[in-house]
Homo-oligomer: A and B are copies of this chain.
Amino acid sequence: MKKQVEDKKAALLEAALKLFTERGFHGTSTAQISKEAGVATGTLFNYFPTKEDLINGLYFEVKEELSRRMGKDVQTQKTYKEKLRKMWYNLVEWGIENQEKFHFVGQFCSSPYISSHTREVVMEEYVFFHDLAMEGLKNGELGDYPPEMITSMFYQSSRTIVDYILHSEPQDRNKAIEDGFQVVWKGVSKK
């Protein structure tokens, strides 16, 4: 019975991801989500007491998945530049593999339907990212810019490159990913 429960909850989250990304929060009814997930309208509310709880739960799950992917194998890299490059590839490749999730977080990161509590809990998962910027500033690898500016430029540039790859469909994706890293690295590194 536990298995079934997880199936339905996962189906609801998947349906919500698709529809919220396509049509927005108020543009999607709970009935549409239930139908897409293949459950009754009442079932949604067994798992998520309100529509806002659903989008907050979804946002948390997706951001958590992204943070795990971003940090993967970063600390095993030899140089600072290699660490940043690894994180860049993790981020962009995840974005291409998970277009809907990538688009979803971009769309709802500053939405009023995501509670400040959710935002705070999610933020904790990204401390390592801020710390990596601080490390680069201390060891002189990065230009003398505020750390928040560096992390924002890095992350937003990844969104730009993912959108570019998905929309312009360049013949060589890996070239585009590497080009993107070169632009960002030249931009934020010292000298």
List residues of chain A with CB under 8 Å of any chain B CB: 22-27, 111-112, 143, 145-146, 148-149, 152-153, 156-157, 159-161, 163-164, 168, 170, 176, 179-180, 182-184, 186-188
CB neighbours (8 Å) of A163 from chain B are 152
Q: Are B27 and A183 interface neighbours, CB within 8 A? A: no
Q: Do A183 and B25 contact each other (CB < 8 Å), given the known contacts A146-B168, A148-B168, A170-B146?
A: no
Stoichiometry, copies per complex: 2
Nearest 6 interchain pairs by C-beta? A187-B187, A26-B26, A183-B187, A156-B160, A26-B27, A152-B160
New A-B pairs, 13, CB < 8 Å, besides A23-B26, A153-B160:
A143-B182, A146-B168, A146-B176, A148-B168, A149-B160, A149-B179, A152-B160, A152-B164, A153-B157, A156-B157, A157-B157, A183-B187, A187-B187
Q: In this complex, what residue of B is CB-closest to A154?
A: B160
Chain B positions within 8 Å of A27 at CB level: 24-26
* A186 and B153 alpha carbons, distance in the complex (Å): 13
Q: Is the CB of B25 within 8 A of A143?
A: no
In the bound complex, residues from chain B placing their C-beta under 8 Å from that of A188 are 183
- Bound together, the chains give a CA A110 to CA B148 distance in angstroms of 26
Q: Name the residue of chain B whose CB is nearest to the CB of A185.
A: B187
In chain B, what residue has the closest Cβ to A149?
B164
Please name all residues of chain B whose beta carbon is closer than 8 Å to the beta carbon of A153 when the two chains form the complex: 157, 160, 183
